[in-house]
Amino acid sequence: MTGAVVDALANEGIRPRAPSVGVERELLREGSDPVPRARPRRLPGWAVSWLQILPLTTILLVLFALPTLLFLAVSFFDYDRTGIYPAFLLDNYREVLTSASTLRVYLSTLKFAAIVWAITLFLGFNIAYFLVFHVRSGKVRLVFFLLCAIPFFTSAIIRTIAWIPFLGRSGAFNQAVLALGLTSRPLDFLLFSSFSVVIAYVHLYTLLMIGPIANALSKIDRSLVEAARDAGASRWQTMAHVVIPLSKTGIALGSILVITQVMGDYFIVRQMSGGQSASIVSALSVEIQAMQYPPASASAILLVVIVAIMVGCLMRIVDVRKELVK
C-alpha cells in the first residue's frame, strides 16, 4: 500500500516521459536489475491520479455516502417505543410533509438563510473588493486578512454567546446608548430575537464569503479593468460587466458555504432566540434524542433534498468545477 502511494507520488508528472539519464543512473545505483537499459514501468496518468485520489474517495464513500444511504433506508422503517424495525413505509414522510410545524420551521430557516445570505454577500463582496483592489501594500493586505480571520480561531460557541453581555438588557450596547441619552429605556429587541440570530450568523459566516470572493477577485487581470475604463466604462459599468462576472465563482462558492451553514445550523438559532424559534435541524435533533430514528431520518432526507436543490441551482448558474479545476 505504502509502495503504491510512493509510486503514485513519484510518478507525479506532466506526461509520461522517456526516462532521462538521471533516472537510469538512479536505478542502476539501486541495483535491483543489472540490465543496462532498464526502463522503469510507468503507470498511465489516469492510474496515478486514481491512486492519489483513492484515500479521499474511500473515506468519503465509507463515512459520508454510506451513512447517508443508511438513514435513507431507515427513513422507511417502522418504529415504536422500544426499537426500530425494517420495513418499507411511507408513513414517516407523510407525517413530516403534512405537519404544520415542519412548514413553519422550514419557512423560518429559509427566511434566516435569505437574510443572512444577502447581508454576508454585500459585506463579503465589498470587503474583499476593498482588500484586493484598494489596499496597495501586500503587507497591509495580509494584516487586514488576518484581522478578519483571527476571530475565526475562537470557538464559534463562545463567539455566539459573546453577544449576550453585549446586546442584553443591561449589556454593553444598552449601557452605552443610555449613557449617551439616545434612548430612555433599554432596547429589548436586541437580544433573544430574530435580530440577534441574524447578528450572530453574520458575525460567524461573513468570512466564508470574504475568502472565496477575495480569491476570485485576486485572479482578475488588472489590465482588463483598466481596459474597461480606457474604453469609457463608468465605475458601475466596469463593476457590472467586468468585475462581477469574473468573480462569480467566488460569489457562488461563498453563497454555497453561507447558505448551507445556516440551513444546517441548530445551535445559534436556539441560543440567540432564547429558545423562541427552532431551526430545521434543532427540531430534528429533538427527534434523534428521543431515539425516534425513522421520522428523524425522513426529515433529514427532506432537508438533504432541499439543500441539494439549492446547491444544484447555484452550481448551474456557475460551473464551479470548471472554474476551480483548471
DSSP type of residue 65: I
Choices 17-25, 28-36, 99-107, 178-186; region in contact with other proteins by CB under 8 A: 17-25
- 245 scored as a contact of other proteins (CB under 8 A): no
The span of 30-38, 88-96, 100-108, 171-179 binding other proteins (CB under 8 A) equals 171-179
- Cβ-based nearer residue to other proteins, 52 or 102: 52
Residue 141 in contact with residue 220, Cβ under 8 Å? no
Residues between 91 and 120 with contacts to other proteins, criterion CB under 8 A: none
Q: CB under 8 A: which stretch of 30-38, 89-97, 178-186, 265-273 binds other proteins? A: 265-273
Return the closest-CA partner of residue 311 out of 266, 277, 269, 262. 262
Query: What dihedral angle (degrees, nearest 10) is formed by the CA atoms of 252, 257, 259, 261?
Result: 180
Q: Is 240 in the site for other proteins (CB under 8 A)?
A: no
Q: Which of 308, 309, 313, 317 binds other proteins (CB under 8 A)?
A: 308
Angle at 118 between CA 114 and CA 122, to 5 degrees: 170
Which is nearer to other proteins, 191 or 277 (by Cβ)?
Answer: 191
The Cα–Cα gap between 268 and 290 comes to 21
Q: Which residues contact 27 (CB under 8 A, 6 or more apart)?
A: 33, 38, 40
Does position 13 interact with other proteins (CB under 8 A)? The reply is: yes
Minimum CB distance to other proteins, residue 185 (Å): 17
Query: Residues 8, 113, 278, 283: which binds other proteins (CB under 8 A)?
Result: 8
Q: Which of 243, 263, 269, 272 is close enough to bind other proteins by CB under 8 A?
A: 263
Q: How far is CA 86 from CA 9, 13, 35, 91, 296, in A?
A: 45, 50, 63, 13, 15
162 binds other proteins (CB under 8 A): yes
Q: Which of 37, 134, 139, 185 binds other proteins (CB under 8 A)?
A: 134
Is there binding between residue 224 and other proteins (CB under 8 A)?
Answer: no
Q: Strand locations in the chain, DSSP E? A: 78-79, 84-85
Binding to other proteins by residue 35, rule CB under 8 A? no
321 binds other proteins (CB under 8 A): yes
Size of the site for other proteins (CB under 8 A): 105
Among 113, 131, 209, 272, binds other proteins (CB under 8 A): 131
Helix (H, G, I), strand (E, B) or coil at 137: coil
How far is the C-alpha of 13 from the C-alpha of 48, rounded, in Å? Answer: 9
Residue among 102, 193, 194, 260 that touches other proteins (CB under 8 A): 260
Q: Which amino acid is at 304?
A: V
Residue 56 beta carbon to other proteins: minimum distance, rounded to whole angstroms: 4
Q: What is the 3-state secondary structure (H, E, C) of 174-186?
A: HHHHHHCCCCCCC
Q: Residue 109 or 277: which CB sits closer to other proteins?
A: 109
